[in-house]
Amino acid sequence: MTNRYRALFDLTGKSALVMGAASGIGQATAQMLAGLGAQVVCADLDGPGAVETAKTIVSEGGTAQGLAADLGSHEQIARAVRTTVDAYGRLDIGVTTPGINIRKRLAAYTEEEFDRIVNLNLKGTFFFLKEASTVMAEQGGGSLIACSSMRALMVEPGLGVYASTKAAILQMARGLATEVGPQGVRVNTIAPGVIDTPLTRPLWDDVKAREAYSAHTVFGRWGSADEVASAVAFLASDAASYVTGENLVVDAGWTVIDGRFDPGR
């Protein structure tokens, strides 16, 4: 009986494409999926970094290869999807994690800055979901996970454009889930909270900001990339076979708690 339940989380024989695999949540996800048995293509704008992640996986007994791919390029995303199918015969798991932010108040944004955020975060995710879901629908199954954010649900000054793209990703994934579900394809999003990654490193390096963000969580700390990767692995696995169109929030209660005052104390 125990083996039957463990098998739900076993990814042996499945193939995965992870965008953003050179660092942060993408790197942790690629390593975790491989650790659970998946054959992984590690893709990133930082090609050498993606190759290095793949080498680490191989050195630990896994199967992986790395390649350079820009989430902002439709052509390069399509190539990454084809590479995965050519290498492993199919595409079972697709994960996209890259995102950028320019922390500025809305009125201070230039059109160029706006386009830069939207083109990568939203348009790039659209390209990825479009290409990967087409392959999965044709083969009759698969699991797609896109990276939204707790900022899709709650926002603060200077994050209006970034938060808008993350909210749009959530709704786009839900819409796709309704379209490809009949072909056996599941589509979900994750919504990380304050996670120590290269994207959030400027906040981490600011001691006052780091402590303020820590205090807003129930656990009083930042999360790690591995803690988000664990949620991705669940959504990728057969343990989540009846889960689609959902947004899995990984934020230590940030979007739940309303301030720190506890009248019981």
Query: Are the CB atoms for 219 and 253 separated by under 8 Å?
Result: yes
Q: Per the residue annotation, which of 109, 162, 213, 242 is the catalytic one?
A: 162
In whole angstroms, give the CA distance from residue 222 to residue 224: 7
**Collapsed DSSP state (helix, strand, coil) of residue 68:** strand
- Residue 108 is classified by DSSP as G
Contact 167, 152 (CB under 8 A): yes
Say how many C-beta atoms besides its own lie within 10 A of residue 190's C-beta.
24
Helix, strand or coil for residue 242? coil
The three-point CA angle 222-53-169 to 5° equals 55
Residue 111, classified by CB atoms within 10 Å of its CB into exposed (0-12), middle (13-18) or buried (19+), is: exposed
Residue 17 near residue 5, CB atoms below 8 Å:
no
Q: What is the DSSP string of 174-189?
A: HHHHHHHGGGTEEEEE
The Cα–Cα gap between 202 and 191 comes to 20
Residue 213 designated active-site: no
Phi, psi of 66, rounded to the nearest 5 degrees? -120, 150
Which tokens is 137 given? 């629908």
Residues tagged active-site? 162
